[in-house]
Amino acid sequence: MMDTLHNPAAATAATKDGKTGTFTIDEIIEHYHGEWILMRVTEDDEDGWPLRGYLLDVAPTQEEILQAWTRRAPEVSDGKGWPLYTFLAEPLITSGPEYETAVREFFMGLLQAGGLRDAEAE
């Protein structure tokens, strides 16, 4: 299948689903936890978030996956309008102590950035 990879790790994953060659976001997160992912979205959920698609590339860094995006974008544009999507394969945290810690760290970062900006302005 032309939409399936040049990346050996992703090529291995692409053989997993013999019917469609596509994977859900959850399947990708489970198999490639902590890696950066480039996928071609074929199905969205009811809120418009990517749900399923072709796994195009896997990389250890965001920079490498963005390079893959640049390389693959012309190759996969076939007029179907399926967008490319990149993400870090980590489960979403929506509640509980981990969520509260992440929100607290985010706001502390904003406060620090604002303080640095104010210090530079003086």
Q: What is the predicted pLDDT for the residue at 67?
A: 94
* Tens-digit pLDDT profile for residues 33-90: 999 999 999 999 999 999 999 999 999 999 999 999 998 888 776 677 678 999 999 8
70-83: pLDDT as tens digits: 988 887 766 776 78
What percent of the chain is predicted at pLDDT more than 70?
Answer: 77
- In the numeric block, which tokens belong to residue 47? 């809120």
Q: Residue 22: pLDDT band by 50, 70, 90 thresholds?
A: very high
Mean local confidence (pLDDT), 107-113: 86
| pLDDT for residue 29 is more than 90 | yes
Give mean pLDDT, residues 28-33: 94
- pTM to 2 decimal places: 0.63
- 88 has which bridge partners? 36
Q: In the predicted model, is pLDDT for residue 93 greater than 80?
A: no
By CB atoms closer than 10 A (0-12, 13-18, 19+), residue 61 is exposed
- Tell me the average pLDDT of the chain: 80
Phi, psi (degrees; rounded to nearest 5) at 17:
-105, 90
* Tokens matching residue 102: 């992440």
- Segment holding 39, helix H or strand E: strand 36-44
Determine the residue type at 34.
G
